[in-house]
Chain A
Amino acid sequence: MIDLRDIKLTLIILIFSGLTACADLSMYNQAPAPIGHQGTSTSPDYPKQEVVISALGEPSDDGIEVPVPIQQQSSQMIANPAVVALLDSSFQQQKAGNLSIAASTLERAVRISPRNAKVWHELALLRFQQANYNLALSLASKSNLLAANDRLLRYKNWQLIANSKLKLGDRNGASDAQSQADSLR
C-alpha cells in the first residue's frame, strides 16, 4: 500500500534530482566568481560560448582611453583560421616526414593561441612520434588542463599519456592513465 510518506519521499527525491541536476549544470557553466564576490545568483559577465573580442581603447567615463583586454574562451580559439592553417601545414609536413619542421609549425600555432588545448595536444602527438615520450606526456597534461570540459580531447590526452608511460616502462603510471582515459569514454 502506497503511503503518503512514500509519495512525499518520491516527490522530494524527484525534486531533489531535478534541482541537483540544475545545480550541477550551473556549476559547470558558471565561470567561477573571484574571491569576495558577493552572493548573487547571476553569473559574472565573462563570455561563455562565443569569442568576444572587445575593441581596445574604449573610452571610459571621463573620456580617457582605458585599454580593455581581450577575453577569449580557450576552446573557441580553434576557429582561428590562422591556427587551422598552421595545423594543416603541420600535417602536410608530417606526412612528408619532416617532423622537426612540423614541430616548429605547431610551436608557431602555440605562440598565436597559447591556451588552445587542441594545439598542445597536436604537439604532444608529434613529440610522441619523435619518441620524446617524457615531453609528449607533459604536453598532453598541459593540454588536459586547458581542455576543461572537452571530454573527447581529455580522453585523447589520457590515452596519449598512457601510451607514453608504457613506452617509458612505467606500467603503474600507464594503467592509472588508462583508467582515466577509459572513464571518459
Chain B
Amino acid sequence: MASMRKKPTTIKKNKSQRVKRSVKRSSSKNKDSFSFLGLFIKILLLFSIITVGYLGYLDHIVRTQFEGKRWALPAHVYANPVELYQGYSISISEFEALLSDLHYRKDPQLSSSATYRRSGTSFTIKTRPFEFSDSNEASRLVKISFQGQKVLKITELQPRRSIAILRLDPARVGSFYPTHKEDRILVQIDNVPQTLTDALVAIEDRGFYHHYGVSPKAILRALWVNIQAGGVVQGGSTLTQQLVKNFFLTSERSLWRKIKEALMALILEAHYEKDDILEAYLNEVFLGQVNEVSIHGFGMASVFYFNQPLRELKPHQVALLVGMVKGPSYYEPRRHPSRALKRRNLVLDEMVRLDFLPQQQLKMAKRHGLGVTDKKQLKTDRFPAFLDLVKRQLSRDYEEADLTSDGLKIFSTLDYRVQVQAEKKFVETLNKLSRQYGFKKGSLQGAMVISRRETGEIVAVIGDRNPKFSGFNRALDAIRPIGSLVKPAVYLTALDDPSQYTLITPIEDKAIQLKQADGSLWEPRNYDRKEHGDVPLHTALANSYNLATVRLGIDIKVANVRTTLERLGISRPIKPYPSLLLGAIPLSPIEVTQMYQTLASDGFLTPLRSIQSVLSASSEPLQMYPLTVRQTVSASATYLTNVALQEVMRTGTGKSAYQQISPEYQLAGKTGTTDELRDSWFAGFSGDYVAVVWLGRDDNKPSKLTGASGALQVWASVMKDISKQAVQLIVPSDIEYIWIDAQGLRANEFCSGAVQYPFIKGSSPTVFSPCVGAVGKTLERASRWFDRLLND
C-alpha cells in the first residue's frame, strides 16, 4: 500500500537510483499482484469489521428493545364497581342501563361472557371476568330478580347457590395515553386460542416454525406469484420480518430497509424462541384505527371488534382477525363488510385445507355473519372533568411518563350512573334557566361536584355546561367568591361556644358600619334591604340575614371564623377581614364541597378522594388510597349547625327545593349569592350525597340568578334523580332537646306554642316560662337531677 501511495519519484535521478528504480519496478510488478491481493484482503477485513460492528449494533437494538419494556401501555381508569345485594335500591330500567354502560349484550343463549337475558322481573347474566386488587373474579352465571325498585335475590346457577353480594366488573371510563396513541390488551401465548396461531401461521407464514427468520422459499414463491399476477399479490415476509418491521423500523420501503429487516429477523431468531417471537407478534400487529388511537395486537382487536376476550373467539371470528392482518383498513369489517367477509371465508378455506379446522366446522363457520359489534367500543374520555381530577390527584404520586406507559389500572370512585344522570339533569336545568331568563345562548356556565356523604368519595364531576367538553374545568378551577355559603362556618364557630350561643340566642339584625383597613366604611345590607330586629340565631342563618351574621361574626371574632374554615378543610390562605363573614373568599366548587363534606360527616374532616387504588398492568396493588377521617369540629356544634341548615330548606332561602323533592329527605343546605348576582351557589347534602353547584358567567358579568333561583334548581333536580336516602342526623350524647316557648324561656310539651330545640347540655335556658306550673317545674328539676345522677 505504502508503495502505491508514495508519490512518483522525481524525474531527475542519478544513475544508481535509476538502477534501483528499475530493480524496484521489476520487483514491484510481482508486488503489484501481491499488493492487489493484500488490498483486497484489507478491504475485506475493513468490510468485515464494519459488518460485524453493524450487526453488533443491530443485535444490541434487537435485544434491549425485545427484552426491556416492550410496549408503552396506556393507563386505564375504571369507575367504582357496582355491587349488587338483596335490598339494593335499583329499578329494572336502571339495571338495564347499567348493563348497557358495561357493554353487556342481550343474548338468549348467553354464548359468551358479558351477555344477559331477561324474563319478566329477573335477569340471567353471564358476568365478565375481572381482576380486582383483592380477588380474581371469574365469569359467573347468575340470576338476579327484582321486586319493586330493589334487588330481591341473587342466585348463582353453576353451582346453584344464593349469593349475598355480587361485584360486577367496573366500567372503563378513560385512559391516559402516551403521545403515540396506541391501545393494547396484552396476551400470553399460552392463553391464545390454538385456532388463532394455526390460522396466522397458515395464512401469513407457513414455514414459521422451520425457518431462521427469513424464508428464501417464501421470497421465491412470492416472486413467482407476483410476476405471474403482474403486481404485488403476495408478500414474502415471515412473521419475524413483519414483527421487526413494526417493532423497530419506520415504514419507509427501500431495498436497504429490506436488508436491515432481514438481518434483524435473523438476529431475533438467533436469540429467542419461536413462541416468544410469535407472542410479540400477536401483541404488536396493527389491526385498526379509531380517530387518533391505533389498535395493536389481537387482544385489543378482539374486544374492539367483538366485545369479547380473545380466548372466547370462535373460528369464524378468529379467521376475520387473521384475514385483517394483511390490510386492517382495507378489510375493515364495519366499513367494508363484503370485502371482509370474502377474506374471512378465504382464511377459513385455508384453515381447512391445512387441516387446522375440521371440514364439518367450515360450513357452520361460514354461515355466521361477521359478528362484529355495532358500536365502536373504544370510548376515550367520556368524563373529562372527572378524569382531569384523577390525573391531578395521581400526578402527586406518579410521573407523567409512568402514568402513560406502564399500563396502570386505576380504580376511581366515579359512580357511572350518578355521573350520567347528573349530567343529564344539569344540562336540562341549565338550558331551562337560560330560556326562562332569556340568557344569550352559551353565556350561562356552571359546575357541579357530588361526593358520598360519609366517605368523601367523589362520584361525579361536571366542569362545563357541556359536560363532555374537555376544556376549562370549572369544578376544579373556577375560583369565585362564595357569598353566603360561608355563613354556616360563622354560626358553627358561635355554636361551638355554648356558654354564649345557642340556636335560640337573639342576634341583632341591624345596620352596621365597619371601618376597613384603608379607612373606608363598609356598610353591608340585607338582600331585602330591611332590618329585622332581634332574631333567634337559627332564623338568622335560615334566612341568611347579612346584618345579623356580620354582627355575630364581629362578636366571635373573624379570626375564629377563619380557624373554623380551616378546620372544615379549606387549605387556601384566608384573609381575616370582616368581609369574610359575607363570603368575600374565593373558592372552587371542589373546595366548597370539602367544607360541606365535613359538616355532612358530623364534624369529621373526610378528605375528598377520586381514586381508590392503583394496580400495575399485572394487577399487583401499587397504591391504596384509604378512607381517612379526623374529627376537627365538635360533633355537637356540627349537629346544631346541621339542624339549622335543615331549617334553611324547610322554611328558609332553600325552601323551593321541596317543590321538586319530597320533604322527607330532610335535606340540609345553604344558598349563596354574591354581589350583583355574579355567582349563584348552592351547597348541601342528603342522606347519601353531598353536592355543590355553581352557576355564573365566565366573563364574570352578573348572571341575574340568586343561589335559590339558579344553583338550587340545578341541585334539586339532580338530587331528586340520584339520592335515595334521607338525612338522619344522629344526636350526639351531649345534646338534649328542650321545649322552649315563644319568648325563649324553658317550657314543656303542654305549653301552647312551645317548640323543641336541641341544646348542648348545660346551655339551655334555666328560666321557666310562666306557662309551666309549680308541679311542672319540680318535675323538670327532678328529672334533670336524676339525669345528672345517671350520667355521673
Residues in chain A within 8 A of chain B (CB atoms)? 16-17, 19-20, 23-24, 27, 32-41, 46, 53, 55-57, 66-74, 80-82, 84-86, 93, 98, 100-101, 103-105, 107-108, 110-112, 114-115, 123, 134-135, 138-139, 141-142, 145-146, 148
**Is residue B83 within 8 Å, beta carbon to beta carbon, of the partner chain?**
yes
Q: Which residue of B lies closest to A45 (CB)?
A: B664
From known contacts A67-B662, A112-B83, A145-B732, infer whether A32 and B631 are also in contact, taking CB-CB under 8 Å.
no
- A108 partner residues in chain B, CB cutoff 8 A: 83, 167
Per DSSP, chain A at the interface is helix
The CA of A73 and the CA of B726, in the complex, are separated in Å by 11
- B750 partner residues in chain A, CB cutoff 8 A: 39
Contact B720 A32 (CB under 8 A): no
Q: Given A20-B786, A111-B457, 4 other A-B contacts at CB below 8 A? A: A36-B755, A41-B749, A105-B134, A111-B80
**Residue from the set A35, A74, A93, A112 with the largest chain B CB neighbour count within 10 Å:** A35
Contact A110 B455 (CB under 8 A): yes
Contact B627 A24 (CB under 8 A): no
- A72 partner residues in chain B, CB cutoff 8 A: 725, 728
The CA of A24 and the CA of B784, in the complex, are separated in Å by 10
Contact A123 B627 (CB under 8 A): yes
Pull 28 A–B residue pairs with CB atoms less than 8 Å apart, ordered by A: A24-B783, A33-B756, A35-B538, A35-B644, A36-B651, A36-B755, A37-B755, A39-B754, A53-B150, A55-B148, A56-B149, A71-B726, A73-B728, A81-B86, A81-B164, A82-B164, A104-B133, A104-B612, A104-B624, A107-B612, A108-B83, A108-B167, A110-B455, A138-B628, A138-B629, A138-B630, A145-B602, A145-B635
- B149 partner residues in chain A, CB cutoff 8 A: 55-57
The CA of A126 and the CA of B345, in the complex, are separated in Å by 59
From known contacts A39-B751, A104-B624, infer whether A69 and B164 are also in contact, taking CB-CB under 8 Å.
no
Q: Which residue of A lies closest to B632 (CB)?
A: A138
- B86 partner residues in chain A, CB cutoff 8 A: 81-82
Interface residues of B in 609-633 (CB under 8 A from A): 612-613, 621, 624, 626-631
Contact B720 A35 (CB under 8 A): no
Contact B723 A69 (CB under 8 A): yes
- B787 partner residues in chain A, CB cutoff 8 A: 24
Size class of the B contact interface (CB-based, 8 Å): 35 or more
- B80 partner residues in chain A, CB cutoff 8 A: 111
**Is residue B165 within 8 Å, beta carbon to beta carbon, of the partner chain?**
yes
Contact B165 A85 (CB under 8 A): yes
Contact A70 B725 (CB under 8 A): yes
**Is residue B551 within 8 Å, beta carbon to beta carbon, of the partner chain?**
no
**Is residue B666 within 8 Å, beta carbon to beta carbon, of the partner chain?**
yes
The CA of A16 and the CA of B782, in the complex, are separated in Å by 7
**Is residue B768 within 8 Å, beta carbon to beta carbon, of the partner chain?**
no
- B754 partner residues in chain A, CB cutoff 8 A: 38-39
- For residue B698, give the distance in angstroms from its CB to the closest CB of chain A: 34
From known contacts A39-B752, A115-B454, A146-B730, infer whether A104 and B662 are also in contact, taking CB-CB under 8 Å.
no
Residues 731-770 of chain B, each 1 if its beta carbon lies under 8 Å from chain A, else 0: 1100011010000000001111111111000000000000
Contact B749 A107 (CB under 8 A): no
- For residue A168, give the distance in angstroms from its CB to the closest CB of chain B: 14
- B457 partner residues in chain A, CB cutoff 8 A: 111
The CA of A37 and the CA of B749, in the complex, are separated in Å by 11
Q: Which residue of A lies closest to B605 (CB)?
A: A138
Contact B85 A80 (CB under 8 A): yes
From known contacts A34-B650, A53-B150, A82-B83, infer whether A70 and B452 are also in contact, taking CB-CB under 8 Å.
no
**Cβ 8 A contact of B85, one of A53, A81, A145:** A81
Residues in chain B within 8 A of chain A (CB atoms)? 80, 83, 85-89, 91, 133-134, 148-150, 164-165, 167, 452-455, 457, 503, 538, 601-602, 604, 612-613, 621, 624, 626-631, 635, 643-644, 646-647, 650-651, 661-662, 664-666, 686-688, 720, 723-726, 728, 730-732, 736-737, 739, 749-758, 778-779, 782-783, 786-787, 790
- For residue B537, give the distance in angstroms from its CB to the closest CB of chain A: 11
The CA of A15 and the CA of B647, in the complex, are separated in Å by 38
Contact A148 B724 (CB under 8 A): no
Contact B624 A100 (CB under 8 A): yes
The CA of A178 and the CA of B515, in the complex, are separated in Å by 51
Contact B455 A114 (CB under 8 A): yes
Contact A23 B89 (CB under 8 A): no
Contact B724 A82 (CB under 8 A): no
- B150 partner residues in chain A, CB cutoff 8 A: 53
- A107 partner residues in chain B, CB cutoff 8 A: 455, 612, 626-627
The 8 closest A-B pairs by CB, nearest first: A82-B85, A114-B454, A85-B164, A69-B726, A82-B165, A101-B134, A81-B164, A56-B149
- B688 partner residues in chain A, CB cutoff 8 A: 114
Contact A70 B726 (CB under 8 A): yes
Contact B454 A20 (CB under 8 A): no
The CA of A100 and the CA of B624, in the complex, are separated in Å by 8
- For residue A16, give the distance in angstroms from its CB to the closest CB of chain B: 5
The CA of A100 and the CA of B134, in the complex, are separated in Å by 9
Contact A68 B165 (CB under 8 A): no
- For residue B718, give the distance in angstroms from its CB to the closest CB of chain A: 13
- B731 partner residues in chain A, CB cutoff 8 A: 32, 148
- For residue B126, give the distance in angstroms from its CB to the closest CB of chain A: 22
Contact B629 A142 (CB under 8 A): yes
The CA of A115 and the CA of B739, in the complex, are separated in Å by 29
- B133 partner residues in chain A, CB cutoff 8 A: 101, 104
Contact A34 B725 (CB under 8 A): no
Contact B664 A138 (CB under 8 A): no
Contact B604 A138 (CB under 8 A): yes
- B167 partner residues in chain A, CB cutoff 8 A: 108
The CA of A46 and the CA of B666, in the complex, are separated in Å by 12
The CA of A107 and the CA of B457, in the complex, are separated in Å by 11
The CA of A39 and the CA of B738, in the complex, are separated in Å by 11
Q: Which residue of A lies closest to B787 (CB)?
A: A24
- A36 partner residues in chain B, CB cutoff 8 A: 647, 650-651, 755
The CA of A86 and the CA of B687, in the complex, are separated in Å by 22
- For residue B741, give the distance in angstroms from its CB to the closest CB of chain A: 10
From known contacts A111-B457, A114-B452, infer whether A69 and B83 are also in contact, taking CB-CB under 8 Å.
no
From known contacts A32-B756, A34-B643, infer whether A70 and B602 are also in contact, taking CB-CB under 8 Å.
no
- A85 partner residues in chain B, CB cutoff 8 A: 164-165
Q: Which residue of A lies closest to B756 (CB)?
A: A33
Contact B628 A135 (CB under 8 A): yes
**Cβ 8 A contact of A71, one of B621, B644, B728:** B728
The CA of A43 and the CA of B231, in the complex, are separated in Å by 92
- A100 partner residues in chain B, CB cutoff 8 A: 621, 624
- B778 partner residues in chain A, CB cutoff 8 A: 16
- For residue B232, give the distance in angstroms from its CB to the closest CB of chain A: 56
- For residue A93, give the distance in angstroms from its CB to the closest CB of chain B: 8
From known contacts A35-B643, A82-B85, infer whether A69 and B665 are also in contact, taking CB-CB under 8 Å.
yes
Q: Which residue of A lies closest to B644 (CB)?
A: A35
The CA of A146 and the CA of B783, in the complex, are separated in Å by 26
Contact B724 A70 (CB under 8 A): yes
From known contacts A20-B779, A38-B755, infer whether A86 and B165 are also in contact, taking CB-CB under 8 Å.
yes
- B601 partner residues in chain A, CB cutoff 8 A: 142
- A69 partner residues in chain B, CB cutoff 8 A: 662, 664-665, 686-687, 723-726
The CA of A84 and the CA of B612, in the complex, are separated in Å by 22
The CA of A37 and the CA of B454, in the complex, are separated in Å by 27
- A35 partner residues in chain B, CB cutoff 8 A: 503, 538, 643-644, 646-647, 755-758
The CA of A20 and the CA of B779, in the complex, are separated in Å by 7
From known contacts A39-B755, A53-B150, A104-B613, infer whether A27 and B749 are also in contact, taking CB-CB under 8 Å.
no
The CA of A72 and the CA of B646, in the complex, are separated in Å by 18
- B724 partner residues in chain A, CB cutoff 8 A: 56, 67, 69-70
**Cβ 8 A contact of A74, one of B627, B720, B730, B757:** B730
Contact B627 A110 (CB under 8 A): yes
Q: Which residue of B lies closest to A23 (CB)?
A: B783
The CA of A114 and the CA of B726, in the complex, are separated in Å by 13
**Residue from the set B164, B662, B739 with the largest chain A CB neighbour count within 10 Å:** B164
- For residue B44, give the distance in angstroms from its CB to the closest CB of chain A: 65
- For residue B673, give the distance in angstroms from its CB to the closest CB of chain A: 24
Contact B164 A56 (CB under 8 A): no
